[in-house]
Chain A
Amino acid sequence: MIATAREGSTSSEALWESGDRSRSQWRRSPQAVEQSADIASFRQEDAFRFGEHVLSCGQPFPPWSRHLLEKISELGDLDEDWDSYGARPIDPRCAMTAAEIILNLMDSETPAPAIVPTSGGGIQMEWHRAGADLEIEIQSPTKVEVFFEDERTGEEREFPLSVNFLPLLPLLHRVTQAD
């Protein structure tokens, strides 16, 4: 199970309703659930940290995910007004949500997305492949904007997600298949 927590607390805020990491059962819980995980017990190599927030699944993260998590970590260096137009620093909760999407919805076959900051303090993951464009903008842990376009079929969709991120799975599959 993947759990996130704020350092200094004694219990984690579980964000996953499913106890296993089966992608078909993945669903984000709107409410924090008390868990017994102890932050101090997280090993360095098993944990993703952003500010005071920590994410761990109790085992090493898959190798393919590590450079993506590092990219998210780098965004923590951005100060107020980093874009010169008043952008906010990255909200650690958005960083956690991005990491959770990577670890729960992607696998070694998924092409690596571009991971970029947004001016509102969020994080955007983008895929631009031969056949399709997919942008996932995490504005807050419960507010995600999705844009998908398949120029081969003319399909274009733009929609919000809040709690259930499962609709991302078929779109990730399509950018994986696009060539």
Chain B
Amino acid sequence: MSQPDSDYVDDPTIENDSPLWRRIAPEQVIYDEKLGRYRPTSDAFQNHRNGTPMSVVLGQEVLAAGRAPESVLAGRESFSLVSITAGLAREKGQGIQRDPLPEEEAHAEVFGKKTKSVQKAFYRASTWVLPPAVGQT
């Protein structure tokens, strides 16, 4: 169910250099002539269509739990994994709130309006944790 952003609180214990990981489907990967590399499409950084914020996984918590990044893609081996920082999200007017799920303890939500401009900042700064098979860059 959708909640107004005012119901979400930015968690200061998630430091600005904390990596936020997001799964990317094969169909969401394009080659960007300007950047000279494969990257996620802008729509890959969007809130859920039901109005809830964009899901991410706190990368540091995954690693601290002794898990490999691949565990975030369990059952979706054709997907790739991309990372942006919490600091970038905040710089673009977003907040990050922990939201542990039974199937993913490190789950968190990035709340705030994601205009095309914000999405562009995210894809430009994004780095591959697990790159897509199409472009090992």
Name A residues whose Cβ lies closer than 8 Å to a Cβ of B.
75, 78, 82-88, 114, 116-120, 124, 126, 128-130, 133, 135, 137, 145, 147, 149, 156, 158
B residues whose Cβ falls under 8 Å from a Cβ of A = 23, 25, 27-28, 30-35, 41-44, 46, 48-50, 55, 76, 79, 115-117, 120
Cα distance, A137 to B119, chains bound together (Å): 13
A158 CB to nearest chain B CB (Å): 5
* A88 (CB) vs chain B CBs: closest residue: B49
Q: Which residues of A contact B27 (CB under 8 A)?
A: 75, 78, 82-83, 116-117
Query: Quick one: which of A86, A135, A149 contacts B50, CB cutoff 8 A?
Result: A86
A85 touches B23 (CB 8 A): yes
Contact (Cβ within 8 A) A119 B46: yes
CB-based contact A84/B76 at 8 Å: yes
Which residues of B lie under 8 Å from residue A119 when comparing CB positions?
A: 43, 46, 48-49
Number of A-B contacts (CB under 8 A): 70
The answer to whether A116 touches B55 (Cβ under 8 A) is no
The residue on A at minimum CB distance from B30 is A114
Q: A83-B23, A133-B120 are in contact. List 20 more A-B contacts (CB 8 A).
A: A86-B48, A87-B49, A88-B49, A114-B41, A116-B27, A116-B30, A117-B43, A118-B43, A124-B41, A124-B42, A124-B43, A126-B42, A129-B33, A129-B34, A130-B34, A133-B34, A135-B116, A145-B116, A147-B116, A149-B120
* A83 and B30 contacting across the interface, CB-CB below 8 Å: no
Chain B min CB distance to A14 (Å): 30
8 closest A-B pairs by beta carbon, nearest first, are A147-B116, A114-B30, A118-B43, A83-B25, A128-B34, A116-B41, A128-B32, A120-B49
Cα of A149 to Cα of B123 in the assembled complex, Å? 15
How many Å lie between the Cα of A137 and that of B76 in the bound state? Answer: 26
Residues of B within 8 A of A114 (CB): 30-31, 41
- Closest residue of A by beta carbon distance from B54: A85
Q: Which residues of A have CB within 8 Å of B32?
A: 128
16 intermolecular pairs with C-beta atoms under 8 Å apart? A82-B25, A83-B25, A83-B44, A85-B23, A86-B49, A87-B25, A87-B49, A114-B41, A116-B28, A117-B43, A119-B43, A119-B46, A124-B43, A135-B116, A137-B116, A158-B115
In the bound complex, residues from chain A placing their C-beta under 8 Å from that of B44 are 83
Residues of chain B within 8 A (CB-CB) of A147 are: 42, 116-117, 120
Query: How far apart are the CA atoms of A25 and B71 in the complex, in Å?
Result: 54
A97 and B55 alpha carbons, distance in the complex (Å): 30
